[in-house]
Structure 1
């Protein structure tokens, strides 16, 4: 869709935001911010190559937050008529009149607002039918079911196509909108051997429909991963090097996101309290945040407060170089807003030059983890203990699958004990990384 077509779609949303801001100002409020979204999507799921569900959604909502001094009130409406918008503003104002004052609340500072807007190429709409999505799902299931005779059935395939428009404006005069699209395809296979069953899945996600991996690739990978897990066994309790597969490595870094986020820090609930400018990782390791990658799954010109996003080092040669702060958390901590209201933006991890297969060989004898379970992570202490499944590796060769084990450690030790990151990255999330090898962890089994 051309930029002019996008402007036409955004125009009524910008008008609604402007109307809400003007009405809030007429009530004598100090400041206000308004966000509005409109999205639509189509989802199709199949099971055993038959359509199970077809879902179409189309909705939108406006949310307003306004301030009277340090008092804050918020409300929302899905009715975007002028009358409904005015009622929502009145409701927010009524709430603000009865809330307690908070000296740290308010809009982000005016000088932090984004003024440059890159063409991030996030919007690729497709005029696609339920029948076309159904065909993709069935092709994925068919590939999984035909891949190996041990694949006995499928737990389904799912295809999603979604597009959306968002507009944000505030009393600083900031008023901007964006359009985005996202497509995904997933498939789950179930295999059986000696009366015992295993399941696994694979998926693909992209801004463009034609950038997805083929349904056959997704189905085949789902089947291969499932068959590989058959005849899994426990291992004896021990201490071993552990290699996290790329999908699990993103979760390992996800704990870092939580630990360095302003909310955790000002509540004193992070194991990385007061850790800025200290060494957390080995000196060869860095994380770069790249918010302006074209087509990136987590690209943005500004955060949900209108603050400009900038490229920055999160980890710089092992050192924690930046926290993740909103306007509120920055004020609470007496620090500078980093533009992270709403999340992170395309974290790209450095690597040690090996492929994932080479890291398996270099690990020699250890545990390859492909699944973790449970919520055994303490964000305050960093203690980590989770159920896991994967593969036992000896002399650089995968010997057999393992299950019903627990891996344990402390995130501080785990981060400092990283000895390798694979160069073949998984690009399907906001954290772009290959597999991560740790020198050792406790493994509880038999």
Structure 2
């Protein structure tokens, strides 16, 4: 969807203020670590956090839900024993009083005492911890009250309904603004955290005619409210997507090229992360086992991880364990260069953590063949005749052997032109081969969470239809 100016509600730097100062969170974290030391813990890690938010949903001009939330929590992980044979216990509380903190630490300590030792358990090594974390510009709270949120949601819904008389309802129209902060501390001397924010507009229009009903959706999510598209544009675009799906047909079983629309292409990138993650690798549950240094994607594909992009959703200077993150090439010319490892999974594999406790950070898939003119229309022309997929159903991915089978809907394309919508089909293949069969990546780049890519064209997949 083309970017446009932001919603009219005004962003601000100090609205719905956070309840605790940075110093107070540090003091609470230090108190928990001190309690763990007094009990005789060998190691301990604690995260103290708070968050607040506002969310509104409307339907047919009426407010359906209005929610304010404000919460806080402390989670403590305690290790007992000796390095190489540590036992782990975890407990949490939403009460920051001294008595509650001490009771929570005691509970974690008691769990650890009755847990079998694990030779891979324990905190990240001190030399790997982040130092002097810079401000990555992640905190932009939105000056949004309930009335403003309702107005934005109604504007989005009205725009969708006004697009065409066949849009008669929605499956939900929502506006949300959230913010929070956390402090992570360990007995190895790490103590750091930061505030963050996230704002979202979403809508799922329903289109109806004599052929039946179809729905589609769209959402935009940013750190800054001013970076969001106008609610009218979000509403109209989602409505146009729903309308385009009316009079969908089935397809005969066949093999053909398949173009994954950019939002679904981000899902394919997510499948790459899953297969390359330490948890899958040490459990022998990945088709990437033994593939380090080998070509696993088409030779024109690169994947870059950059955790330090200012203002991005996936940015962080350290991971969930305090390990410093870094910019790196995960895949180069189709050759696998890096895993996604936490401290624990790295030790299980006798490797070193990659700073990915908690997942990937701002992962971008790109092709060396992509030109600036390779927009969505150009990608349809590159495919020629085949299937454009815009929705996937089910969880039919086997990461042990790569088998891939998902319910799908989308559009049949002939000679680069969309002919008609299709539904009630299944697309199937094997991820290992699909990755190598990536023929092109579009310049229609989209970010979904921590993943960034354009549409992805697979040279051939099996389509199971009527």
Per the normalisation by structure 1, the TM-score is 0.98
Q: CA deviation at 1:6?
A: 8.2
Q: 1:182 aligns with which of 169, 179, 198?
A: 198
2:6 matched residue in structure 1: none
Rounded Cα–Cα distance in structure 1 between residues aligned with 2:19 and 2:423:
53
> CA RMSD for the aligned pairs?
1.3
2:229 is aligned with 1:209: no
Per the normalisation by structure 2, the TM-score is 0.93
2:375 is aligned with 1:363: no
Rounded Cα–Cα distance in structure 2 between residues aligned with 1:253 and 1:9:
38
Q: Is the 8 A contact 1:206 1:428 kept in 2?
A: no
Hey, which bits of structure 1, 4+ residues long, moved more than 3 A?
A: 5-8
2:85 is aligned with 1:65: no
List gaps (5 residues or longer) in structure 2: 1-12
Q: Is the 8 A contact 2:49 2:72 kept in 1?
A: yes
Q: Deviations over 1:134-158 (max 9, x none)?
A: 0110000000000012212222201
1:50 matched residue in structure 2: 62
Q: CA deviation at 1:296?
A: 0.4
1:303 matched residue in structure 2: 319
Write out aligned runs for 1:50-129 (5 A): 50-69=62-81, 70-129=86-145
Q: 1:388 aligns with which of 390, 400, 408?
A: 408
2:292 is aligned with 1:276: yes
Q: CA deviation at 1:65?
A: 0.6
Rounded Cα–Cα distance in structure 1 between residues aligned with 2:89 and 2:204:
44
Write out aligned runs for 1:307-322 (5 A): 307-322=323-338
2:444 is aligned with 1:427: no
1:443 matched residue in structure 2: 463
1:136 matched residue in structure 2: 152
Identify the range of structure 1 (290-299 vs 118-127) with the bigger mean alpha-carbon deviation: 118-127
Q: Residue 286 of structure 1: SS of its match in structure 2?
A: strand
Q: Residue 236 of structure 1: SS of its match in structure 2?
A: coil
Q: Residue 234 of structure 1: SS of its match in structure 2?
A: coil
Q: Is the 8 A contact 2:249 2:421 kept in 1?
A: yes
Q: Deviations over 1:175-194 (max 9, x none)?
A: 00110000001011111121
Q: CA deviation at 1:116?
A: 3.5
Q: 1:405 aligns with which of 412, 418, 425?
A: 425
Q: Deviations over 1:222-244 (max 9, x none)?
A: 11000000000011110000000
Q: Residue 341 of structure 2: SS of its match in structure 1?
A: coil
Q: CA deviation at 1:8?
A: 6.5
1:247 matched residue in structure 2: 263
Q: Is the 8 A contact 1:283 1:318 kept in 2?
A: yes
Q: CA deviation at 1:112?
A: 0.4
Q: CA deviation at 1:127?
A: 2.7
Q: Residue 381 of structure 1: SS of its match in structure 2?
A: coil
Q: Is the 8 A contact 1:203 1:218 kept in 2?
A: yes
Distance 1:379 1:275, change over 3 A: same
Q: CA deviation at 1:119?
A: 1.7
Rounded Cα–Cα distance in structure 1 between residues aligned with 2:71 and 2:422:
45
Q: 1:38 aligns with which of 30, 47, 50?
A: 50
Q: Is the 8 A contact 2:169 2:207 kept in 1?
A: yes
2:171 matched residue in structure 1: 155
Rounded Cα–Cα distance in structure 2 between residues aligned with 1:253 and 1:155:
28
1:222 matched residue in structure 2: 238
Rounded Cα–Cα distance in structure 2 between residues aligned with 1:166 and 1:8:
10
Q: 1:292 aligns with which of 308, 311, 333?
A: 308
Rounded Cα–Cα distance in structure 2 between residues aligned with 1:357 and 1:210:
28
Q: CA deviation at 1:383?
A: 0.2
Distance 1:195 1:234, change over 3 A: closer
Q: Residue 100 of structure 2: SS of its match in structure 1?
A: helix
